[in-house]
A = this chain, B = another copy of it.
Amino acid sequence: MSENGVTARRSKVLTIDTMNATVKKVEYAVRGPIVQRAVQIEKELKEGAKKPFTEVIKANIGDAHAMGQQPITFFRQVLALCSYPELLKDGNFPEDAKHRARRILQGCGGESIGAYSGSQGIECIRQDVARYIERRDGGVPCDPDNVFLSTGASDGIVTMLKLLVAGEGRSRTGIMISIPQYPLYSAALAELGAVQVNYYLDEEKCWGLDISELQRSLEAARQHCNPRALCIINPGNPTGQVQSRQCIEDVIRFAAKEDLFLMADEVYQDNVYADGCQFHSFKKVLFEMGPEYSNTVELASFHSTSKCYMGECGFRGGYMEVINLDPEVKEQLSKLVSVRLCPPVPGQALMGLVVNPPQPGEPSYTTFMKERTGVLSTLAEKAKLTEQILNTVPGIACNPVQGAMYSFPRITLPERAVKEAKEKGQAPDMLYCMKLLEETGICLVPGSGFGQRDGTYHFRMTILPPVDKLQILLSKLKEFHQRFTQQYS
């Protein structure tokens, strides 16, 4: 063999210079440098390193169970029964849990959750989703054929965006997203090579959405791309606002007038805490506006098992409902989802339970309601606590956390800190959050990871830590902010 020297001759096929350039542009702050450093610090602590703190408190990601929230008993009982159907003979499991498990198993090939399901999801679960939507929306009809189960909401959102992206140059698809935004959107748009069209939420008006700002953003975008869709997150991540019915109606009217496809990210639909606030689904409002709108405006709405009161992120369950989708496009959507075979069946099962929980009179009802209410009222308490304490700190201004799981307070940073960050090529709130992590063990995400108006600085903090830890976190944060401000003044 005369192949000596292969080693010397050969460089890598795949390098940073020869890889997919659009992938390189993707950014994802929720799991960015701060989180990587936090993981490292945790390791250092384990190995006995001395730090001014003994544990890292993660308030960077909406991951309820990781923060100690307990799963809903009924859901987990049914999942255990589906996983190991021998347990259907076990007298310790309530009858309603067994009934749900049998129903799910009957919807599976070979009555096993180990079989691939239809790509759109298990039929009986899609039916349950449809009935849930009808109940939620006061009877507005929902066709199970319009429901696509997904691998978390993330999957549904990316799939829908993928269908929308077309054209080149000035006719390239633009997608309007709120700033601050949940970075899945910017990451997906970068990967798909779509144009990100920013519209700003109004911090002065509790992160409200203003139609004139939508109009400004749209008109500016039309100069250089073809804006085709408008994404809304309600209740909001990272900003925690809950939109009024009037606002939703205005947005729908705007989308109709401007020929925009609506994408409503409603994964926090049960997470509403503030007095006077209420969740209104885009679909319900659309149908209340009459056939002129309900027969024409194209809408995709997304839900997930990851948030609300269940917080079951690891199962990667979710669904999307499509309304007024062109039938040919729907066929293409069905084909596209079939390539990945199917969403995870345990996640489908869980989504099925979320939309069809224990009913009054069933043996698990009381416990279920107690657990559900417990989680939601604790979240409401923590939302209030967070807002109140943060607003006692000079240089921190926090809007009410009306819903979702986050506060997004504005922080005033001394000029010297801003200068130092710029010299380091860092966003000023990244410098702030990194210092906070190193000095206190608190892990937040800088506002720059979500987008914000130039010259303003924020961080996103989840309200998920248990109340006692949250209190510690908030008082450490307060101390840190004062120290940081002094140090740089």
Contact = CB atoms under 8 A, between A and B. Distances in A.
Interface of A: 3-4, 6-7, 10, 12-16, 18-21, 23-24, 26-28, 30-31, 39, 61, 63-69, 71, 76-77, 79-81, 83-84, 87, 90, 92, 108-110, 112-119, 151-152, 154-155, 158, 162-166, 184, 187-188, 191, 228-229, 253, 256-257, 259-261, 291-293, 295-296, 298, 306, 310-316, 324-326, 328-329, 332, 335-336, 338-347
Contacts of A64: 114-115
Contacts of A71: 112, 114
A165 B192 CA distance: 13
Contact of A77 (B79, B81, B84): B84
A338 B184 CA distance: 10
Contacts of A295: 7
A65 B110 contact: yes
Contacts of A256: 3, 6, 10
Given A21-B166, A314-B114, A10 B296 contact: yes
Contact of A19 (B83, B114, B329): B329
A314 B342 contact: yes
B115 A313 contact: yes
Contacts of A346: 83, 314-315, 344, 346-347
Nearest to A296: B10
A292 B164 contact: no
A258 to B, nearest CB: 10
A12 B152 contact: no
Given A115-B313, A313-B115, A292 B66 contact: no
Contacts of A30: 338
Nearest to A311: B114
A296 B14 CA distance: 12
B66 A314 contact: no
B68 A110 contact: yes
8 contacts: A3-B256, A14-B164, A14-B228, A66-B109, A83-B83, A151-B344, A152-B340, A188-B339
Given A76-B84, A79-B83, A115-B314, A257 B3 contact: yes
A24 B110 contact: no
Nearest to A66: B109
A117 to B, nearest CB: 6
Contacts of A65: 108-110, 112, 114-115
Contacts of A162: 20, 23
